[in-house]
Amino acid sequence: MTAVAPTAPEPTRPPSAEPRRAAVSRQARWQLRLHRPALWIWAGLVLVLSAALLWLSGPLTEAAAAAWRQYDACGMNTRCTYDQPAILLYKDVYQYLTYAVFAVPFLVAAWAGATLTGRELETGTARLAWTQSVSPARWLAVELAVPAALVTVGAGLLGGLHHVAWTSGRGHIDTAKSWYDPATFLTGGPVIVALALVGLAAGALAGLAWRRALPALLTSVLVTAGAFGALNLARPYLWPSATRVSGLGPGAPAGGGLGVDEGVITSSGARHPLPECGAGQAHCQAAYDKIHAVSYYRDYHPFSHYWALQLTSAAVALVFGGVLVLIAFRLLKRRTGGVRTQEKSAA
């Protein structure tokens, strides 16, 4: 008679793992259903703006560039005609579309503050979710993760198409915006994606802090506006600048691009601010002689620094957004300690 060798028991998952995973998946589906109108509006906004940006980068740019070639060929001939409406149409459409893309982070912030967390806490929907095997931390993680994915895709598409539209006109349209124009720079690359995520984080935090829709909406928009302003002020200093030295004479310090600093260099090699009388004017010679100025200098960012400044600006914005998310989780943990205790005792 042979004995049957005992078989090792199969490893089992913790009993709470599968229900929690199902609860998180259920919450994500519920979130998409709950915010379906906002989802459709976001998709429609992205599609409309994308189509308009493609129109701008294609037919509008070609027509405006042809009109500028006609204008340049006219020279001093006052009777020469050119397609001025095409130039004006391109200018207006570019301006309006730039403002529209620029407004995306503010729209995300307003929605996140008023609806994503503010309204759910105000109406008790969030507390109901916490009783459905979803901890407050998991609830907030899902609340942020799903919109963040949609915002990243949509804002990334708009930022990329805006950059294509601007690139199409660069060098072909005389009145095209410079690469360092604040609105053009902030909407034409990964920076707009990072700022949209900052708006999402600001809205989530404001909703948790106020637990009311309207104050959270206003706070999130103000925080996002502050992030825009601070990033624009810090932009020239986020990457090492180039320096151009030019001789004293008529005009100002040479060097195009995004300016950082300028002035004069003295005979000792020291830097000195430009005299208040102006640069290169005859009556300023005495002021130059007084400080022993020998040349101008200008610290600036040329166009070759464009992507470096884009990436560093986006990184700074993402760090700020990450700090807002961390504060949101800390605030939620402090305010829902009792909820977790009740869940553990019920288990």
Per-residue pLDDT tens over the stretch 179-201: 999 999 999 999 999 999 999 99
Average pLDDT over residues 101-119: 93
Average pLDDT over residues 150-173: 96
From residue 92, give the alpha-carbon distance in Å to each of 97, 123, 167, 172, 308. 9, 43, 17, 17, 29
d(CA 97, CA 191): 16
d(CA 221, CA 71): 43
| 3-state SS track over 2-61 | CCCCCCCCCCCCCCCHHHHHHHHHHHHHHHHHHCHHHHHHHHHHHHHHHHHHHHHHHHHH
Indicate if the pLDDT at residue 347 is higher than 70.
Answer: no
In what order do the strands lie in the sheet containing 293-301? 242-247, 293-301, 258-266, 271-272
What was the pLDDT predicted at 342?
45
Indicate if the pLDDT at residue 73 is higher than 60.
Answer: yes
d(CA 78, CA 62): 24
What was the pLDDT predicted at 227?
97
Widest pairwise Cα distance in the chain: 119
d(CA 240, CA 235): 11
**Bridge pairing between strands 242-247 and 258-266:** unpaired
Q: 201 burial class (0-12, 13-18, 19+ CB within 10 angstroms)?
A: buried
Specify the pTM: 0.86
Which range in 32-46, 228-242, 258-272 is most confidently predicted, on average pLDDT? 228-242
Structure tokens at 258: 């995004």
H helices of the chain, where? 17-34, 36-55, 61-74, 84-102, 104-111, 118-123, 125-130, 136-169, 182-187, 190-210, 213-234, 285-291, 306-335, 337-346
Quick one: which of 141, 195, 105 has its CA closest to 326?
Answer: 141
Overall size of the chain counted in residues? 347
DSSP symbols for 247-259: ESSSS-----SEE
Residues 6+ apart with CB under 8 A from 307: 189
What was the pLDDT predicted at 346?
44
